[in-house]
Amino acid sequence: MGHGSSKELPATESTNSEGGSTRFSRMKQKLHLHSKDQHHPHLRRIFRRISVSRGNGSSSSSTSALKLVSAEDFAGIALLTLISADMQFKDRWLACVSLGEQTFRTNISHQTHKPVWNSEKKLMLEKNGPHLARISVFETNRVSKNKLVGYCEIDLLEFLAQDSDSDFEVFELFDPASAGKVVGRISLSCSVEDPIETEKNFARRILGIVDYNEDGQLSFSEFSDLIKAFGNQVADKKKEELFKVADKNGDGVVSMDELAELLAIQQENVPLINCCPVCGEVLEVSDKLNTLVHLSLCFDEGTGNQVMTGGFLTDKQASYGWMFKLSEWAHFSSYDVGLNSGSSASHILVFDRKTKRLVEELIDKKIVLSMRAIYQSKIGLGLMDKGAKEILQSISEKQGREMNTIESARDIPKFVEFFKDQINLAEIKYPLEHFKTFNEFFIRELKPGARTIASVEHDDVATCAADCRLMAFKSVEDSLRFWIKGRKFSIQGLLGNEIYSSAFADGTLVIFRLAPQDYHRFHSPVSGTIDKFVKIPGCLYTVNPIAVNSKYCNVFTQNKREVSIISTAHFGKVAFVAIGATMVGSITFSKKAGDHVKKGDELGYFSFGGSTVICVFEKDVIKIDEDLLANSARSLETLVTVGMSLGVATKKQTKVGMPT
């Protein structure tokens, strides 16, 4: 769960005759020093991490490796302040700011249409990292969760670069249900802290904490406690030597300026700080700038100098009320990234590649509970084996027919309202009134130019085949380790005997999962010629991660699907598999065997329901983009759109004869 500033921990060390342990205990209380298994997960998420951290206040069981940001990529520490808002009606208001994999929230305002928060938060900005912040404003009159009323997205680097005489800027808040509709305005301020000031401020802050007699200077005993807190055993043995180095004027004490200079020199040459005294994190990389950034942000969290509450993964998690907190406490619900989010939790989180931010996938909670009951238990799958598969297929086909009736068009507004902040109406080719049935809306086309095809002139760059949640794996073995938990999944089972060849046996696997709210037309990820199509009959299991992560069924090898082979110059043969799912009436291809396709060309569409496309590349012919592989290794789906970069060919182009 999200939480605010930590409470002080009681002293755990007994007093000795010299009083050293007592002083150190007092310092630990001031710093809120945590043991290894009590790290703030939101502090650890400030840095890029390799393994998964939990959003509910606990750490993953395995040791986490942190990759600190290099100095050339660093932009600075931004101080963002949510000042106030002007809304259209009175309520008690809550605001959240989301950046990357961290979200923070303000306190709840009084009943008013002009809430004032004056809530500030320090954020680390990287030149190549997330810098698009989403500001969300919620009304808080709900029991279980609060209602999103308005939002805006701000590029913080652009905001900081603009020349303005004002101390703050006013941004319009847009209605998530109506494109372009303004529902209020919010006032923000943002500034970057100079790295030199970061260094001085840290020295000033740490001096104030270990300066027990508050004389503005460090005695040798106070200096010794500080070195001990830094976790550097070598430095601990050289305390006297370091103290003499710091005490430039030889007056027997170390001033703030002398301490700052010592930290700067030592951290750049021989690291003095091996361990953060606030969160206990081991600072493995010798990088002066990153160390000070880490320590500065940790001190802000640990000593309660920040107004906004952290520890959340998304704004939706931050907005949940006391009922959700109670369900988390009782283990009825959990909120996390990774495999558990798909297989056993009640929330599915995906990483938005465009905004570099975590978002929660919208799905009806009753459907989640029913899927968990069916796909995560032997009893549920036992029912499937006793005729429920046929019933499910019959219901799906009936639902598909109903979605083609004139009456079904009445469901379009309700559907759009439910997925209000995940369907961009401005991209759709025709207005909603144009669609005479729900299925016409479901297989909607987008306006020309709504999707940009990456490296359009370079056929050695593959692109994403759909608007979807993507998982990519170098090999089938990786996919089984991180995502697919069916006991009998294989490439041969996926493609069928007619299509399968040994070249695909240990090939690269890319899974494009389409949710109901997505644009449901799929496109070619590569340029080439379509060799053949093969239809494979099967079930209509859901393709939701809850089912894919089930060890009791094999969704991809048991579901109805249609397989095509695309011959290319750069990637050899690519298997393109369109998989049907629950409530999917049909898979329709708009191309035929022998057709030449350019990457980004439409190949076909799925009718009503969720569905999946899987592309299988031959072994070692493609280098998948690193961010996609890194997220997949965390069992975290990446939200992508048609035409985004997927990977680059590793083999030389096949020679093609010149036409006569």
**Catalytic residue positions?**
467, 523, 611
Which tokens belong to 520? 């449901």
CB under 8 Å to 208, separation ≥6 — which residues? 214
The single-letter DSSP state of residue 381 is H
Q: Among 558, 617, 615, which Cα is nearest to 582's?
A: 558
203-to-208, 236, 267, 292, 298 alpha-carbon distances in Å: 9, 19, 13, 10, 14
CB 267 within 8 A of CB 248: no
- Count of C-beta atoms within a 10 Å radius of residue 60: 15
Q: Strand, helix or coil at 98? A: strand
Contacts of 399 (CB under 8 A, 6+ apart): 583, 585, 608, 609
CA triplet 60, 62, 63: central angle to 5 degrees?
105
Sign of the four-CA dihedral 261, 267, 271, 272? positive
Strands, E assignment, 499-609: 508-514, 521-523, 528-536, 561-567, 573-579, 587-589, 596-597, 602-606
Q: How far is CA 77 from CA 46, 105, 159, 190, 555, in A?
A: 11, 18, 14, 10, 46
Contacts 24+ apart (CB under 8 A), 344-349: 344/372, 344/376, 347/317, 348/544, 348/545, 348/637, 349/313, 349/314, 349/636
Rounded-to-integer distance, Cα 567 and Cα 570, Å:
9
Contact between 230 and 273 under an 8 Å Cβ cutoff? The reply is yes
| Bridge partners (DSSP) listed for residue 564 | 533, 576
638-640 and 349-352 beta bridge pairing: parallel
